Structure 1
Amino acid sequence: MIPNLPEPNETIGELTKLLGQLAAFSDGEGPGVTRLLYTPSWANAQRFLADVMAEAGLAPRFDAVGNLYGRLPGTDPDGDVVLTGSHVDTVRSAGQYDGAYGIVAGIAALAYLKKTYGAPRRPLEVVSFCEEEGSRFPLAYWGSGHVSGLYDWRSGADMADEDGVTLGEAMRDCGFGREELGECRRDDLAAFVELHIEQGMVLERMEKRIGIVETIVGQRRYAVTLEGAANHAGTTPMTMRQDAAAGAAECIVRLEALASQWGEPLVATVGKIEARPNTPNVIAGAVDFTLDIRHADEWRLNAFSELALSEIERIALRRRLRHKITPWLATKPVPMNPALARSAERVCQHLIMPYRRMVSGAGHDAQVIAPLCPTAMIFVPSRGGISHSPSEYTEPRLLADGVAVLAAMLYELAYEEQPT
Structure 2
Amino acid sequence: MVKTDPPIRLFTAQEMIKWLSHFGRTERGGVTRLLYDQKWQEAQQALHKEMKATGLKSYFDDAGNLYGRLEGLEKTDSVILTGSHIDTVKDGGKYDGAYGIIAGVLALRQLFKQYGRPKQTIEVVSLCEEEGSRFPLTYWGSGSITGLRKKEHIKEMKDSSGISFSEAMKEAGFGLGRFREARRDDIDCFIELHIEQGEVLEREDKAVGVISRIVGQRRYIVTITGESNHAGTTPMPYRKDAVHTAAVLIQTLIEQAKKTNQELVATVGKMEVKPNIPNVIAREVVFSIDIRHAEESLLESFSNDIFETFRQICQEHQTGIQIENWMSEKPVLMCEKLSALSMGILKREQVPYKVMASGAGHDAQVFGQYVPTSLLFVPSHQGISHSPVEYTKAADLDKGVQLLTKTLYELAY
> TM above 0.5, one fold?
yes
Partner of 1:257: 255
User: CA 1:285 to 1:76, structure 2 compared with 1: closer, same or farther past 3 Å?
Assistant: same
> Sequence identity, in percent?
49
For the 8 Å contact 1:265–1:359, the answer to whether it is kept is: no
Letter matched to residue 408 of structure 1 = K
CA separation of 1:399/1:139 partners in 2, compared to 1, >3 Å: closer, same or farther? same
Q: 1:296 to 1:69 in 2, by over 3 A?
A: same
Name structure 1 gaps, 5 residues minimum: 1-11, 416-420
For 1:324 and 1:369, the matched residues in 2 are separated by 32
In structure 2, what is the Cα distance between the partners aligned to 1:250 and 1:375? 41
Q: Report the Cα distance in structure 1 between the residues aligned to 2:162 and 2:228, rounded to whole angstroms.
A: 34
Following superposition, the deviation at residue 205 of structure 1 comes to 2.5
Provide the residue aligned with 1:406 in structure 2. Answer: 404
Report 1:16-55 matches (<5 A): 16-26=14-24, 31-55=29-53
- Deviation string 1:361-401 (CA, Å, 9 cap, x unpaired) is 22211112222210011111111222222111111011011
| Matched AA of 2:312 | R
- The amino acid of 1:175's aligned partner reads G
Report the equivalent of 2:130: 132
Report deviation, 1:21: 1.3
- Counterpart selection for 2:379 from 381, 384, 387: 381
Do the aligned residues in 2 keep the contact of 1:218 with 1:294 (CA within 8 Å)? yes
Instruction: Measure how far apart 1:144 and its partner are.
Output: 1.4
Q: Larger deviation: 119-128 or 153-162?
A: 153-162
Task: For residue 228 of structure 1, report the CA deviation from its aligned partner.
Answer: 4.6
Where does residue 176 of structure 1 map in the other structure?
Answer: 174
State the distance in 2 between where 1:176 and 1:283 align: 45
Q: 1:153-302 counterparts in 2 under 5 A?
A: 156=154, 159-234=157-232, 238=236, 241-302=239-300
Q: Distance in 1 between matches of 2:196 and 2:46?
A: 25
| 2:48 counterpart letter in structure 1 | A
Counterpart residue identity of residue 177, structure 1: G
How far apart, in 1, do the equivalents of 2:172 and 2:268 lie? 37
Structure 1 residues 147 and 260: alpha-carbon distance in aligned structure 2, compared to 1, 3 A threshold: same
Paired residues, number: 404
Residue pair 1:189, 1:372 contacting (<8 A) in 2 also:
no
1:297: how far off? 0.6
Query: Which residue type is aligned with residue 107 of structure 2?
Result: A
For 1:160-216, what per-residue CA distance to the aligned partner results, in whole angstroms no more than 9, with x for missing partners?
434444444433443333435222211111110000111222222232221122222
Q: Distance in 2 between matches of 1:273 and 1:193?
A: 36
Distance 1:238 1:412, change over 3 A: same
Instruction: Find the aligned partners of 2:132 and 2:275 in 1 and give their Cα distance.
Output: 29
Shift of 1:281: 4.1
Shift in alpha-carbon separation, 1:267–1:114, aligned structure 2, 3 A: same
Q: CA deviation at 1:236?
A: 5.1
Alignment of 1:314-325 (within 5 A): 314-325=312-323
**Quick one: which of 11, 14, 22 aligns to 2:12?**
14
What residue in structure 2 maps to residue 99 of structure 1?
A: 97
Partner of residue 352, structure 2: 354
CA contact (8 A) 2:144 2:183 kept: yes
- Which residue is 2:120 aligned to? 122
Deviations 1:196-244 (A, max 9, x none): 1112222222322211222222222222234455555555555555544
Mapped to 1, the partners of 2:393 and 2:11 lie a distance apart of 12
2:370 maps to 372
Go from structure 1 to structure 2 and tell me whether the alpha carbon gap of 1:64 and 1:321 turns closer, same or farther (over 3 Å shift).
closer
Q: Does 1:309 align with 2:326?
A: no
* 1:88 Cα offset (Å): 1.2
My pick for the range that moved more, 157-166 or 194-203, is: 157-166
Query: 2:208–2:376: 8 Å Cα contact kept in structure 1?
Result: yes
User: Which residue of 1 is the match for residue 141 of structure 2?
Assistant: 143
Contact 2:127 2:141 survives alignment (8 Å): yes
Is the CA contact (8 Å cut-off) linking 2:16 and 2:102 kept in structure 1? yes
CA-to-aligned-CA distance 1:269-289 (integer Å, 9 cap, x gap):
122233444444444454332
* Counterpart Cα distance in 2 of 1:64 and 1:72: 21
Unaligned 5+ residue runs, structure 2?
A: 1-9
Instruction: Describe the shift of the 1:289–1:13 C-alpha distance in structure 2 as closer, same or farther (beyond 3 A).
Output: same
Counterpart contact for 2:90–2:133, Cα < 8 Å: yes
